[in-house]
Amino acid sequence: MHEFSIVTALLEMCEKNAKENNATKITKVEIKIGKLSGVEPYLLETAFDTFKEDGICAGCEFIVHLQEIVVHCESCHTEATLTQNEFVCPTCKSTDLRVIDGEEMYLMHLEME
């Protein structure tokens, strides 16, 4: 379960940001997870809730935004959001697509005191 190592890295990033901003507590962590990231949101939330209690994020709110798959069609130059994992352009039905969002995980927002 790689969610544990992801949470460890996320908590380290939170602590680093808090130190850089002279904060003593983080009250909210907000992330965005792409559907193609390979990260299971529920397992990530569970791991975060387990590990946050030992550090600067103790008691903080953890918000996860799930990012849909956004593609650019190289044939008709349309940008579209896919509702299913069918990599076909909804406009021209081409399969010559480039994923432009939905593959990564980002730390979007931190609230600190």
Q: Residues comprising the binding site for Ni(2+)?
A: 2
Annotated binding site for Zn(2+): 73, 76, 89, 92
DSSP string, the chain: -THHHHHHHHHHHHHHHHHHTT-S-EEEEEEEEETTS---HHHHHHHHHHHGGGSTTTT-EEEEEEEPEEEEETTT--EEEESSS----TTT----EEEEESS-EEEEEEEE-
> If you count them, how many residues does the chain have?
113
Annotated binding site: 2, 73, 76, 89, 92
